[in-house]
Each structure stands twice: as C-alpha cells, then as structure tokens.
C-alpha cells in the first residue's frame, strides 16, 4: 500500500477522533481513493472497540501532541482484526508511517501493541463488543429490548447502495440495463422504484445517470413521496429539503404540483438545484428560510407537507459511523425540542384537511413516536392516518423501520388536519 493512502486515512481519522469534525467535511485529495475511505470508515465504525483494545494495552496515556499515534494504532488494529490485508504487511506499513510523522521513537511501542493484538485476535473477536458509546447502547437497549442486537449489528456493517429509478425508465428494463453492465440488483416490494445493488459502483457506471435515469437513495427514504401521495393540483412544502432527493421524487410523481423546497442553508440548497437540473426539473420553488419561523411563507396554505425533521441520524449510522463519536446525549433532548418547534410552526401553514408526513432517520423513540404522541395530545385538530405498508413495525404512533440489510432505520407518521368545531 502506498503510504500516502495510509497518511490520508490517518488524517481523516484524526479529524473525527481528535478534532470532532464530521467525515462528510473531510476532503480527500483523491475523491476516488476507495482504499483510503475503506480504512477510514472501518476504523471509525469499530472505533469504540478498537479504542478499548489499544487503551488497555498502553501502559500510559500518550501526550496530547502524540495522539495521532494513538489514531494510527487504531487504524493498524482495524486492519489486523477486520481487513483482508496480510497481517505482517499491516503491521509493517503502520509502523513505517511513523517515519512520515517524524515520530520514529514510537516504532517499538506501535509494533509491540499491534503484534499483541495479532496474538489475541481470536480472543478479541470472540468478545461481545457493540462498538457504540455507552449512552447510546443504554438508550437503544431501553427502546428496543428485543431488537437492540440487530440494530448494533447493522450499524457495524457497510450499507448497500440503493438507487431510485426514474418513472420514465421501466424498472424491469433498467434492471436489465444494469445487468448488461455486470451490475446485479434486487427490487424492493415496499419501494416500487428501488433497486438495491449487489455491490457499490460509481454513479457514472449507472446507465444514463447523467441525464436523470436514477438517484442514489435508500429504500426507506424513497417511501416518503409515495406516502405523501402528491397529486397534480397539490400545493406541497418539502421542509428541510436539502439535498433534494425527496423533492425531486415528489416532482416525479406529480410533475404539475406546486412544490416549495425549504432549507435554512444556501449551500445545501445548491445541491437541491443541482439535483433538479440533472432531472431537468425547473418548477421547484426553492426558498432559503428557517422552518421554525414563517417569514419565508407567502400566507397560502399547503395541501401537503413533508417534514424530514433534523434528527440524531441514529438510523443511518452504518452510512455515517462518525455519528457514534460526534453525537452526545444532550443532543437528543435539544433535537426533540427543535423538532417540536418546527412541527408546531409548520402545522399552522397546513390547510384544513391537509396532510403532514413527519419523517426522521432516527431509531430513538423520543424523536419519533413519543414526539408525535405529544403533538397529538396538544393539537385537537390533528389525527393520525394509519400507514398500511409492508415495511417496518407498527408502533404506538406511526411506523418504525429498524436498520436492516435493505433499509436504513427510519420513522414515518402521517397526520391530517381536521376541522375543529
């Protein structure tokens, strides 16, 4: 392995572990460096387990300026325990990286710890370790006493690549087009436009991707537009809309609907514009605004609202493993408050008889069924519309999908605004 790749991977790992930055903000020198990304995601995915192992083997803590060495040992430990690279090569290349860090004094330490991990490999892998922060393990066990092991297991796997095929491409035909390019896929019953690829590929290997044949989107997220059921005469708000996957899906299903895409980030709204352009959609009313306020609203009520609320993203940890390091317990309470504020505010913009679809990519009940139950208790003009779908599990309010091979963890609740005498 070229040491540049390992150095890039180490830089990314340090940015998360030491600088508390998200992986999505890290700029890889070579965006197509699949090996570097694999090392990074693998190390971060198993960080809590790897950190416990390395910390136990260290006789003393490293100085603050040498914590990059600790991160390097996490990277080496990941390769020894989970990668297919030859053990001796992993150890040699990890130790050799210290030359580039100008910290050759640590070679003996790093070599000794990694060789000890290699000797203990079988025992270490036999031990139960969920590789999640303690508070998250406790919370998920409380919420799902019978299903927590499935959640932890899925969170520690690599998510599949799923695409949403544009309705202008019959899905059977497009699946065959993929097969002609040696890309095998599986259709999903619950998501009629979804194909789950057997192996991830570059989007530019997907037939007609550049002219809008498909969009990379998990099967759970693809259900939003179908559940909202847009019609041609509808006035629809997609709140917190960036990057535009659900917005463009609504446009596909109801090309003549009047759709507003709202988000509070001008940078993220550029993604909405780019995705709309690729699908040749020029009818979306794109607005930068705060969903907690109404200064962006023209006063005309919406027939339907999609609220994909800001959340802990605990249902998509397998796609964003850094969530396990960056999310804190206090975030859940703060997010629940924010969700309630947005929900209460947007409800005022929904017309009588209108429908609001509440969605999160979380598995935590405080953000999902408990949030909606509290909303129903405090709003006499709100009633639940039961979601009849072969997807997820029915909970006290709405439906909850736990992470599984074909679906990210996701929650939906469908609410209708009724007239109050």
3-state secondary structure of 197: strand
Q: CATH for 3-126?
A: 1.10.940.10
In the structure, what pLDDT confidence band is assigned to residue 222 with cuts at 50, 70 and 90? very high
pLDDT of residue 99: 96
Is residue 405 scored above 90 in pLDDT?
Answer: yes
Query: Distance between CA 221 and CA 363 in Å, rounded?
Result: 14
Please identify, in words, the CATH class of the domain defined by 162-216. alpha beta
Query: Distance between CA 256 and CA 283 in Å, rounded?
Result: 8
> DSSP string spanning 141-154?
HHH-TTTHHHHHHH
pLDDT of residue 3: 58
Tell me the average pLDDT across 312-339. Answer: 98
Q: What is the mean pLDDT of the chain?
A: 96
Query: Distance between CA 239 and CA 344 in Å, rounded?
Result: 13
Is residue 1 scored above 70 in pLDDT?
Answer: no
CA dihedral 73, 76, 82, 85 (to 10 degrees): 180
Tell me the average pLDDT across 37-63. Answer: 96
pLDDT per residue as tens digits for the range 326-374: 999 999 999 999 999 999 999 999 999 999 999 999 999 999 999 999 9
Is residue 13 scored above 90 in pLDDT?
Answer: yes
In the structure, what pLDDT confidence band is assigned to residue 421 with cuts at 50, 70 and 90? low
In the structure, what pLDDT confidence band is assigned to residue 31 with cuts at 50, 70 and 90? confident
pLDDT of residue 322: 98
Is residue 275 scored above 50 in pLDDT?
Answer: yes
Nearest to 296 by CA among 255, 243, 248, 349: 349
Percent of the chain with pLDDT over 70: 99
pLDDT of residue 79: 97
Pick the range with the lowest mean pLDDT from 38-42, 148-152, 170-174, 417-421. Answer: 417-421
3-state secondary structure of 208: coil
Domain ranges, ordered by start, for the chain:
3-126, 162-216, 219-417
Helices of type H across 156-259? 171-180, 219-228, 245-253
Tell me the average pLDDT across 374-393. Answer: 96
Q: What residues pair up with 393 in beta bridges, in sequence order?
A: 400
Global confidence as pTM: 0.95
pLDDT per residue as tens digits for the range 152-202: 999 999 999 999 999 999 999 999 999 999 999 999 999 999 999 999 999
pLDDT of residue 185: 98
pLDDT of residue 183: 98
Query: Distance between CA 349 and CA 359 in Å, rounded?
Result: 18
CATH 3.40.50.150 fits 219-417, yes or no: yes
In the structure, what pLDDT confidence band is assigned to residue 2 with cuts at 50, 70 and 90? very low
In the structure, what pLDDT confidence band is assigned to residue 59 with cuts at 50, 70 and 90? confident
Residues labelled catalytic: 361
């Amino acid at each position: 392995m070229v040491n540049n790749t390992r150095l890039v991977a180490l830089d990314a790992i340090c940015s998360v572990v030491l600088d508390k930055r998200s992986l999505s903000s890290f700029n890889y020198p070579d965006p197509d460096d699949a090996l570097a990304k694999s090392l990074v995601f693998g190390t971060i995915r198993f960080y809590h387990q790897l950190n416990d192992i390395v910390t136990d083997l260290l006789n003393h803590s490293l100085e603050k300026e040498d914590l990059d060495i600790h991160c390097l040992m996490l990277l080496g430990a990941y390769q020894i325990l989970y990668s297919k690279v030859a053990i001796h090569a992993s150890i040699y290349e990890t130790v050799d990286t210290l030359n580039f860090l100008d910290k050759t004094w640590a070679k003996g330490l790093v070599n000794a710890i990694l060789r000890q991990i290699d000797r203990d490999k079988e025992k270490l892998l036999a031990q139960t370790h969920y590789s999640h922060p303690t508070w998250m393990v406790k919370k998920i066990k409380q919420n799902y006493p019978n299903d927590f092991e499935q959640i932890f297991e899925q969170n520690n796997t690599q998510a599949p690549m799923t695409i949403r095929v544009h309705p202008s491409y019959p899905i059977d035909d497009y699946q065959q087009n993929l097969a002609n390019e040696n890309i095998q896929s599986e259709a999903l019953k619950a998501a009629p436009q979804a194909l789950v690829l057997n192996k991830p590929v570059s989007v530019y290997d997907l037939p007609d991707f550049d002219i809008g044949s498909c969009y990379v989107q998990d099967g759970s997220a693809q259900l939003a537009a179908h559940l909202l059921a847009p019609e041609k005469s509808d006035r629809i708000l997609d709140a917190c809309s960036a990057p535009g996957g659900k917005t463009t899906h609504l446009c596909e299903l109801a090309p003549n609907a009047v759709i507003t895409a709202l988000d509070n980030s001008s940078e993220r709204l550029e993604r909405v514009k780019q995705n709309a352009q690729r699908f040749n959609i020029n009818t979306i009313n794109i607005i930068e605004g705060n969903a907690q306020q109404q200064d962006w609203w023209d006063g005309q009520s919406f027939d339907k609202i999609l609220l994909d609320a800001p959340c802990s993203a605990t249902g998509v940890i397998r796609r964003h493993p850094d969530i396990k390091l960056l999310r804190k317990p206090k975030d859940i309470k703060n997010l629940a408050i924010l969700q309630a504020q947005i929900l209460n505010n947007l409800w005022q913009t929904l017309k009588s008889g209108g429908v609001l679809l509440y969605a999160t990519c979380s598995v935590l009940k405080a953000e999902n069924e408990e949030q909606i139950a509290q909303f129903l208790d405090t709003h006499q003009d709100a009633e639940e519309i039961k979601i009849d779908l072969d997807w997820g599990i029915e909970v006290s309010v709405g439906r909850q999908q736990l992470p599984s091979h074909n679906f990210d963890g996701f929650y939906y609740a469908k609410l209708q605004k009724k007239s109050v005498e």
